[in-house]
Structure 1
Amino acid sequence: MKIRAFAALGALTLASCVTQEGEAVFPNLFEPAPETAVEALNRYYEDYPESKLPRAPEGVPLPAETAVIDRILVASCNDEELDSPTLAQLAEEEADLFLMIGDNVYGDRDGRDYANNQPELEEVRESFADLADRAEFQEVRAKFPMMVAWDDHDYGANDAGRNFPFKNLAERIHETFWGLEDQDVGQWPGTYYARSFGPEGQRVQVIMLDTRFFRSALTKTDEYGAEGKERYMPAPDGSYQDMLGSAQWTWLQNRLQDPADIRLVVSSIQVMPTVHGWEAWSTMPAERERLFDMVEKTGAEGVVFLSGDRHTGFIYEERDVLPYAANELTASSLNLSFATESAERDPRQIGTAFPLENYGVVEIDWDAEKISLVLKDSDGQTARRNDIAFSEIGVD
C-alpha cells in the first residue's frame, strides 16, 4: 500500500505541474485521463526533458560483426562516489570488449525503499552524472567497446523488481546514459539486448538479460540473517514466479537459436548457486529450471553465464543441468568489498570465494579450443581461474 500511495501522490503532484517552459505536463487535452497513478507517471516520463538525462562520455564503437574477439572484461558493483583503483587497473588491460553488468552506480543510497525515493529519480540521475565525471571511468570508456546491464542500484531501489513505480524513467536514464535509446533495446520495454561478433566457427554471442524490469516479487525469508536464508527463500512450488517477463523469454528463446559458437549469457544476479539467501535465480526455482530447459530445448551450444551483484567473486561449474557442463563467472565488486574472507561454499564452486575487489576476464583460445574464466584482483593478478575445453560446453 505504501508503494501505491506514494506513486499516487507523486503522480498527482506531477500532473498538477507545468514544465519550465510553461507547457502543461499533459498538453493533449483530448487524450483520455490516466486511470492510475502509475499511468500518469508514465505519460509524464514519455516527455521527460532529455536535457535532464546524463550521458556517458562518447564511447568506442562495438567490434564489427565479422571481428574475431578473444578477450572480454567483466565487472560490477562500482560506487561512483568512491575512487575505483580496480577500475583504473582494468583500464590497463587489453581486450576486445568490456561488459559492465550491474550496480554500475549506486543511485539509491539515500532512498533504499520506494517511499524514500522520488518520482524524478534525482539521485539516480546525479549518480550517473558523477560516474561520467570519474577519470577512471573515462579511461575505460575511451579504450574499450562496452555492453551494459543494470541491477537494482542503477535501477533505482534496492532489490526492486516489476513493481518499482518509477521503472520507466529508470529505463530512460539507463538507455540515454549508455547511448542505447536509438538502438533496438530502446524500442521495447526493458533493457535486454544481444550482439554477435565473428565469423562462423569463431562467433561469440553476448546476451544481456534484464532481471529487474519484469521480475515478480521475491519470497521473503522467515529467519532474517540466518545462513542460507539471509534475506529471501525459494518461492514455493506452484507459486507465481517470473524473472524475465513473457516478451523477454520469447526473445531469449529466439536468440539462443541464433548461430553462435560461444554464448555469454549475462545476468546481473547469480544463476547457478543455491546455498545463499540473497537475490539469485535460486529464489525462483521454476524460472531457473526454465532457463536451463530453454538452453537444452533450443540446442544452444557454448553457453556460459556471467553475473555480478554479490560483492564477492566466484567461479562455478556443474554437470547435468545442461546437455553439457554449466559454467558461471561472478565478478563483483570493483570498489565495494565488504570482507577479506568468505566461508560460503556452494557444491558447484571451483575454488574458494574471493571477496576482495576484483574484475573478470573471459579468455577464448580459438586455436587451443578452450575458454577460460578468470578473476583478477585490484592489482591485475589472477586470483581464480577455470580453463574449460570447448568440448565440455558442447562446442564441436
Structure 2
Amino acid sequence: MKRAIVLIGLMGLAACQSSGPISIPGITRGPSSAEEALEAYYKTLPDDFYPRAPAGLPLPPADQPITRVLVASCMDEENSAAPAMDVIAKEDADLFLMIGDNVYGDRDGKNYVNNQADLDELRESFGDLAARAEFQAVRAAHPMMVAWDDHDMGANDGGKDFPFRRLAERIHERFWGLEKQDVGAWPGTYYARTFGPEGQRTQVIMLDTRFFRTALTPTDEWGVKGKERYIPSADPRQDMLGTDQWTWLENQLQQPADLRLILSSIQVLPTDAHGWEDWSRLPMEQERLYRLINETEANGVVFVSGDRHTAFLYRKEGVLSYPAYELTASSINVAFSETTEEMDSAQIGAGYPPENFGAIDIDWATGTAALSIKANDGATVRETSVKFK
C-alpha cells in the first residue's frame, strides 16, 4: 500500500510539473516528465524486488573459436510444455542466444494486461520462467546471450513511448545478470561480444529494437494481407536504435571479425510479405542499417531474428556488398498454425510455423555457416548455407 501511495504521488507531481522543490530522493526540483519522477522512485527499490535467473555458465573465452550457436525466441512461461527447450538443453553448442519474447510479461493467461508502474505481471513472468525445469536445464547446459522484445519489455508492440521502459530494462538486466557489465551502464539493452582468434572470430551483436524505437504507423486496412497491422512510415524523424546505439553499432562494425551475427528481435530483410513489425516499417532506418554496414565495410554479416511465430530463411541481393542472409527462429512454444502461405521476395522456401529453434553451424575450414531451422524434436526442417569468407 505504501509503495502504491508513493507511485500515485510521483505520477501526480510529474503531471503537475511543480516549480518548487520536492522531496523525491535524488531530485530537488520539479521532474520534467513522469518517466523522470518514476526513475527516482525506481532507484529506491530493493534488490529482492527483481527476479533472478538461475546461475548460468560463463561465456566462452575471447580467444576460443566457436562452431555452433543455437538461437530461439518466443517462450510463454505459462504454457505447460516447451519441448524445444528440453531438446536445446541436450544439444551440443558453444552458445545459446535467446533473442526476445523470452517471457510474455504483458499477458496473464491468454489475456493482455496493461502493466502498471511496478510491472507486477512482468516480474511474475520472469519468476515463473526461472522456476521452469527445462529453462534451468538450458542455463546449466549452455552459455547464453540475450536480447529483449516487446513482451519481455512489458508492452505489446511497445517502443520508447512505454512509460515504464526504464524499470523494464532494470528487470531484464538483473534477471540475466547483466547489470554489472557494460550493458548495465547505459540506457537500453544492447551489447556485443567477440569470440575466437584472428581468422576465426565470431562477433555477436545484440541490438535493442525497443527502448529507443519511435511509433509505428498503423495500417489503413486492418488485417489485409501485407498490411495486417502496420504500414511503412514516412516520418523523417523515425528511429529504431537511438543516437547512442547507432554510434555504438558503427564502432562495433569497425571491430575485426570474420563472421558477424547481428541479432535483431524483429526481422530485418523482409519487405513485401507481411504488415507486422519489422525494419521495413521504418524504411529509412532499414536503409540506414544497410548503409552503415556498407560504409564500415563490415564483412560476414548474418542477420538473426525472432518475433514472428514462424521460422524463415532469407537471402537478399543488392542491399549489402555481398548477399545478405537472415535466420528467423520463432517460436519455442507459442505456435499458431502448421503451415503458412507467406512468401517474401527474399525468402528461401516455405516458412515453418510449428514450434522450433535455430542453429548456426560454422565451418572455419571452408568459411561457411549452415543456417538451420529445427523442429522441436531437433530434426532439421529447413537449411541454407552462407559463404562468409
TM-score w.r.t. length of structure 1: 0.91
Map of 2:186 onto structure 1? 188
Q: Which amino acid aligns with 1:339?
A: S
Question: Matches of residues 245-284 of structure 1 in structure 2 within 5 Å?
Answer: 245-274=242-271, 275-284=273-282
Question: Matches of residues 3-82 of structure 1 in structure 2 within 5 Å?
Answer: 11-12=10-11, 26-27=24-25, 31-82=28-79
Distance 2:327 2:25 in 1: 49
Q: What is the CA distance between 1:33 and its match in structure 2?
A: 3.0
Deviations 1:298-339 (A, max 9, x none): 010000000000000000001111000000000000000000
- Check the 8 A contact 2:117/2:164 in 1, yes or no: yes
Deviations 1:213-268 (A, max 9, x none): 000000000011000000000012x5321000000000000000001000000000
Map of 1:139 onto structure 2? 137
Map of 2:284 onto structure 1? 286
Q: What is the CA distance between 1:13 and its match in structure 2?
A: 6.7
- Check the 8 A contact 2:90/2:141 in 1, yes or no: no
25 and 350 in structure 1: CA distance in 2 versus 1, 3 angstrom threshold = farther
10 and 147 in structure 1: CA distance in 2 versus 1, 3 angstrom threshold = farther
More deviation, 62-71/103-112: 103-112
Question: Matches of residues 148-227 of structure 1 in structure 2 within 5 Å?
Answer: 148-227=146-225
Q: What is the CA distance between 1:388 and its match in structure 2?
A: 1.8
- Check the 8 A contact 1:185/1:193 in 2, yes or no: yes
Q: Which amino acid aligns with 1:288?
A: Q
RMSD between aligned residues = 1.7
- Check the 8 A contact 1:14/1:25 in 2, yes or no: no
Q: What is the CA distance between 1:117 and its match in structure 2?
A: 1.7
Question: Matches of residues 98-117 of structure 1 in structure 2 within 5 Å?
Answer: 98-110=96-108, 112=112, 116-117=114-115
269 and 10 in structure 1: CA distance in 2 versus 1, 3 angstrom threshold = farther
218 and 371 in structure 1: CA distance in 2 versus 1, 3 angstrom threshold = same
- Check the 8 A contact 2:99/2:265 in 1, yes or no: yes
Secondary structure, counterpart of 1:98 in structure 2? strand
- Check the 8 A contact 1:103/1:150 in 2, yes or no: yes
1:303 aligns with 2:301: yes
10 and 373 in structure 1: CA distance in 2 versus 1, 3 angstrom threshold = farther
Q: What is the CA distance between 1:36 and its match in structure 2?
A: 2.4
Secondary structure, counterpart of 2:325 in structure 1? strand
Q: Which amino acid aligns with 1:305?
A: F
Q: Which amino acid aligns with 2:141?
A: K
Q: What is the CA distance between 1:25 and its match in structure 2?
A: 8.1
More deviation, 41-50/145-154: 41-50
Q: What is the CA distance between 1:9 and its match in structure 2?
A: 5.3
Q: What is the CA distance between 1:369 and its match in structure 2?
A: 1.9
Secondary structure, counterpart of 2:107 in structure 1? coil
Secondary structure, counterpart of 1:171 in structure 2? helix
Residue ranges of structure 2 left out of the alignment (5+ in a row): 1-6, 15-21
Q: What is the CA distance between 1:10 and its match in structure 2?
A: 7.4
Distance 1:44 1:96 in 2: 40
Question: Matches of residues 79-94 of structure 1 in structure 2 within 5 Å?
Answer: 79-82=76-79, 83-94=81-92
Q: Which amino acid aligns with 1:331?
A: A
- Check the 8 A contact 2:262/2:303 in 1, yes or no: yes
Deviations 1:160-212 (A, max 9, x none): 00010000000000000000000000000000000000000000000000000
Secondary structure, counterpart of 2:203 in structure 1? strand
Q: Which amino acid aligns with 1:104?
A: N
More deviation, 200-209/34-43: 34-43
Q: Which amino acid aligns with 1:355?
A: P
127, 130, 136: which is aligned to 1:129?
Answer: 127
Distance 1:188 1:127 in 2: 24
Q: What is the CA distance between 1:49 and its match in structure 2?
A: 1.7
Percentage of identical aligned residues: 60
182 and 345 in structure 1: CA distance in 2 versus 1, 3 angstrom threshold = same
Deviations 1:73-117 (A, max 9, x none): 00000000112111111111000000000000000014747xx22
318, 321, 340: which is aligned to 1:320?
Answer: 318
Distance 1:112 1:34 in 2: 31
Secondary structure, counterpart of 1:103 in structure 2? coil
27 and 368 in structure 1: CA distance in 2 versus 1, 3 angstrom threshold = closer
Q: Which amino acid aligns with 1:330?
A: T
Q: What is the CA distance between 1:50 and its match in structure 2?
A: 1.4
More deviation, 250-259/32-41: 32-41
Instruction: Number of aligned residue pairs: give it.
Output: 372
Distance 2:144 2:182 in 1: 16
Deviations 1:47-79 (A, max 9, x none): 222111000000000000000101000000000
Distance 1:327 1:163 in 2: 31
Distance 1:134 1:370 in 2: 36
- Check the 8 A contact 1:14/1:44 in 2, yes or no: no
84 and 240 in structure 1: CA distance in 2 versus 1, 3 angstrom threshold = same
Q: Which amino acid aligns with 2:200?
A: Q
Map of 1:3 onto structure 2? none
